Chain A
Amino acid sequence: MSAEFNPVTATDTVTVPDTGLDEDDTPRRYYDLDETGFREVPKRWRKFYRHWQGPGDELAPNEVICPVCKVVIRSRRELRPGDRVYCMPCMSRLVVVRHPDGHLEAEVVY
């Protein structure tokens, strides 16, 4: 991981408001992603993943943890229930769901 990047404190930059509407009629936020030092996929895909730092590593609205391999999956857009994401490091296909406590998580789709 690069020396400058601290995933616990870093936030991605919101750049483009979306015109699309989600379940609660609020526009999605979009994010510019930077590489975080994750090197386990080919270079063109690296910015879409990062290592999870454990408890205290708060996820951004565009991030979910892969339940299979525990890598953080990142999207250019704010994630919402029903979104599909892929974990390239472990080759899993996932769908975003809302946990009863309100946070977003990913479930494997076989």
Chain B
Amino acid sequence: MGGADDEAWEPHLLEEDDFLREVQSFSFWFEAVEGYLEDRPMGFDPDLTDTHFEPAEREQLITLLANYCVGETAALEASSGLVRLAANNRSQIFMATQAADEARHVEVFRRRLAALGVSDVDEVIATRANPALIEFRRHLLAFVDEGQWDLAVFAQNVLLETMEDTVFRFHQSTADPVTAQILEGVVADERRHLGFGENDLGRRLARDPARRHDLAQVRMDLDPLVLNSFEATYRDLGLRRDEFPDLGRSYLEAVERLGLDT
């Protein structure tokens, strides 16, 4: 087997176990996030000049960020709890890196709220949170409390992360420069999370196909909550229904690959 310095070497030649050991390691996570965050200490270039917002634009952005905080806090609480439920050390390490990512997301969104002049961030989050997202958080944390790793990973890493990824990408394309840079870093993190979730569940379902029934039930309960909350996000972005980007497409593609679409 060659090494990374060989001319012909490439990651696709790694043995599968070596590949997983590489990508689910703390050092891989550290070097990856260093690549896109080393010059963005709070998620954006500190030399970037912030936009002057009209009052209505500012209020709209505050509502969006308040709801992003709800989703990210739910993921922080769930992923930290999932460390204890992970089946092996490699998954524990990955979930610990995800908890660190989610903590960073909560921090950068809250600081962005403060930079927009919000004096009581907790109060704003509490008053502007979408009830559907609060209800989703309750279900997610219940799965963790019950020790249901696969249901929690589906709800968090497949359902929530895939839809967040779609919404954040769209918002990034229309946002002010500071918010756009913050979202760009969050999207890069989400790639790891949704990939881990789909692959972990895919392997589990290959071993235990009967488990699809339970996951399908979770879909029935939670899909509407997440769809409703992110459709509200699109409305907060000023879009009419016929202008909504296809929120569910990436999610439905993942569900189909996992065989959960029937």
Contact = CB atoms under 8 A, between A and B. Distances in A.
Contacts of B12: 48, 73, 75, 83-86
Nearest to B23: A91
Interface string A67-110: 11111010110000001111111111100000000000000101
Interface in A4-27: none
Given A42-B31, A42-B35, A93-B19, A71 B191 contact: yes
B8 A76 contact: yes
A41 B25 CA distance: 12
A59 B16 CA distance: 25
A88 B27 CA distance: 13
A46 B192 contact: no
B90 to A, nearest CB: 11
Contact of A90 (B20, B27, B31, B195): B195
Given A42-B31, A67-B257, A69-B191, A88 B198 contact: no
A72 to B, nearest CB: 13
A42 B73 CA distance: 27
B257 A75 contact: no
B140 interface: no
A39 interface: yes
A40 interface: yes
Given A91-B20, A92-B195, A43 B206 contact: no
Given A39-B35, A68-B254, A91-B24, A45 B11 contact: yes
B93 to A, nearest CB: 12
Interface string B4-34: 1000101110101001101110011001100
Contact of B14 (A39, A86, A92, A108): A86
A43 B31 contact: yes
B35 A110 contact: no
A69 B194 contact: yes
Contacts of B168: none
B174 interface: no
B118 interface: no
Interface of A: 39-46, 48, 67-71, 73, 75-76, 83-93, 108, 110
29 contacts: A40-B36, A41-B31, A41-B32, A42-B35, A43-B35, A44-B4, A48-B11, A68-B194, A68-B199, A69-B194, A70-B250, A83-B12, A86-B11, A86-B12, A87-B195, A88-B28, A89-B32, A89-B191, A90-B191, A90-B194, A90-B196, A91-B196, A91-B199, A92-B198, A92-B199, A93-B19, A108-B198, A108-B257, A110-B203
